[in-house]
Amino acid sequence: MTTRKCTKCGEVKSSKDYYKDKRRNSCHSQCKECELELLTKRRNTEIGFLKHRYHNMRRNPKTQKRGRNNKCYITFDEFLTAFKKHKSIYGMRSAWGPGVDNLEQHLPITMINQGTKRTKDKKTPREGSNLSADRLDSSKDYTIQNIIFIRNDENVRKKDTSYKDCKIQIRLYEERFIKMKAI
């Protein structure tokens, strides 16, 4: 078994403690612990957190988890610009709510990195208040017109409700409570 010295922490460790670099057919120069520490530090910045969310949207639909097969048609710069516009309107609050005239009723958004350590049995639970870049209409792909910044818990609650389903629900609500028609 070969050993090597980590360029960051300086410890001599087994080659199993380093990620493989497939492009160079060798190991990375920093050990796994140091690389995870660097990744966590990067993701704890606003830009790092947004890049992570963006890359999750860009995953190859064929290999994506939970059967999602939506494509992303925006660049990171467009994504970042959209978030900055969201922030200028809503601050660090979810877009899901009664509107910009009632911002105090919109829930606050956080950007808390959960870390990257996962075991086979347990995944790191998601932070409910964390930023989620979602699609306004779940039946359409990620585009500038279809992206919305909400919280993870709101996204889970919204799940796969389509725009068409929402229109039906609104129509039923209006019939029952505004026009006062009974069934």
Which of 11-15, 107-111, 154-158 shows the lowest mean pLDDT across its residues?
154-158
Q: What is the mean pLDDT of the chain?
A: 83
pLDDT tens figures, 25-73: 788 888 999 998 888 888 889 999 999 889 888 875 554 555 556 788 9
pLDDT tens figures, 37-46: 888 888 889 9
pLDDT tens figures, 117-175: 555 556 666 788 899 998 887 778 899 999 999 998 888 887 767 778 788 878 888 88
Which residue spans within the chain are E strands per DSSP? 3-5, 12-14, 18-21, 26-31, 131-135, 147-151
Which residue spans within 7-127 are E strands per DSSP? 12-14, 18-21, 26-31
Please write down the long-range contacts of 40-45, taking CB distance under 8 Å and 24 or more positions apart: 40/113, 40/115, 40/116, 43/113, 44/113
Q: Quick one: CA dihedral 73, 170, 109, 81, positive or negative?
A: positive
Look at strands 18-21 and 26-31 and give their pairing.
antiparallel
Provide, rounded to the nearest whole percent, the portion of the chain with pLDDT above 90. 30
Contact 137, 163 (CB under 8 A): yes
CA angle 178, 100, 170 (to 5 degrees): 25
Q: How far apart are CA 49 and CA 32, in angstroms?
A: 20
